[in-house]
Structure 1
Amino acid sequence: MKILIADDDPQILRALKVTLGARGYDVVTAADGREALDLAASRHPDLVMLDLGMPHLDGVEVIQGLRGWSTVPILVVSGRTDAADKVEALDAGADDYVTKPFSMDELLARIRAQTRRLPSGADDEQPVVSFGDVQVDLSAKTVLRRPRGDAGAGAGAGGGGESVRLTPTEWKILELLLHSPDKLITREAILTEVWGPFHAKDTGYLRLYFAQLRKKLEPVPAAPRHLVTVLGMGYRFVPDGGPASGSGLESPA
């Protein structure tokens, strides 16, 4: 399990990394709030532990930033003992609060309590996703597509199909959509997940990359049925295929 620890005290970072690493946790560390948000977006931790008094962005700002796009459990570990600080952090979206100095046994128990609430095996439920003439293996990170004009079975039949080469960014976008079929994913959520929290308004990126993905994966890129746009809001993956080009809420743009 991956834990992101954010604290501006290097001694605490080193101690926690050694202690938690010895217990089998994969530990990622950040020395300030801005780095914590960047690492949360790029490394996808299963738990975030953070201090409140950090440079650049304080702990409450980091919590608010995370809660704008993520439901990852957040455990505050802080020297602030005032009730008002605890209430502010919990109201911002933290799941638990531990004061310094802390007992390592208590901290480990709090970590276990938070991680017991995580969904298990979610990525194993459907490692292969098929739509249209495309088959995506989420575990192997491969994409196959039946050649155009082939009247035979779908892309997955008999293991046939041509390999489709995606860039790392194209893959991240596609994977995000495939994990939430038929659900709207806002432009801000995709931008934050793929490029980081400081690119949440750069919508030009998405138009470019969705155009590229549709050229590679849609039967008619100009009239997409699977990777559709919800006007003014975001994008949706439609496994069974929606109406070509959409009308009303949905658009190929």
Structure 2
Amino acid sequence: MKLENVKTLDMKDGKITKVEYEGVEYEFVEKDATVGDLVLVKNNYLGGDACSFFKVDEGCLCGDIHFIGDNDCMNTAESDEVDLFKKKNTRLKIGDYAKVVNAFKHVDVDEGDIVEILRDDQSSNPFECVIIFGKSRSECIWAKESELVLVTDSEFEAIRKTKAKYRLESGKKIAKSDERFELRKAMHKRRITQVEAAKHCGCTQSHLSKYFTFECEISKEKLNRLVEFVYSRPELLWKKK
């Protein structure tokens, strides 16, 4: 279907060269189309009004590009009948929030989960991430560039509002939650397992696991022992599996 709210950001010699859609920038390219690219239709007969944008549903097949038009049918266009736009290639950086778009290799991760980038080792599987929204919150994963996309402005704003609302409604509880989240990250960076940590603070691994998911509390004495043990250990680089 025709995409609404596609903003033109730049033009050259009367030709659109850069647009923005859902907070993401796309640039005009002369390459093969892939799923998720945008096309600008030049002719009315291609399932939509001329100068309308559509999203590519299938990539190139014998040079053709496929998209769902205003007629709710799959339309086929040759490369010279549309202008193709691809997402601007901006590499994720440490501290960015990203959305998981391909969770095939991750057992406890779903598409749509939100992660924060912790490390980039510039390899083929470069990003160490911690899950901040998802069923495995506070767990860390390694991800490829193709598995993540930077959150849009609207998604980032939703994350910010969610955190602000939680702080307002929960008061001191959010501080405790953040402390647990930071403690869990610190354990990961030091290769400390929950079994090892539980042994040093004097509780069971099951109890400690529930503490990190806010299902129970532990005594102040045990928490102090846990914090002292975790932060006394040096941070280590994880070896990828």
Q: TM-score range by the shorter chain?
A: under 0.3
Of structures 1 and 2, the larger Rg is shown by 2
Task: Return the structure number with greater helix share.
Answer: 1
More strand by share: 2
Report the TM-score when normalising by structure 1.
0.25
Q: Which has the higher contact order (CA 8 A, sep 6+)?
A: 1
How does the TM-score come out when normalised to structure 2? 0.26
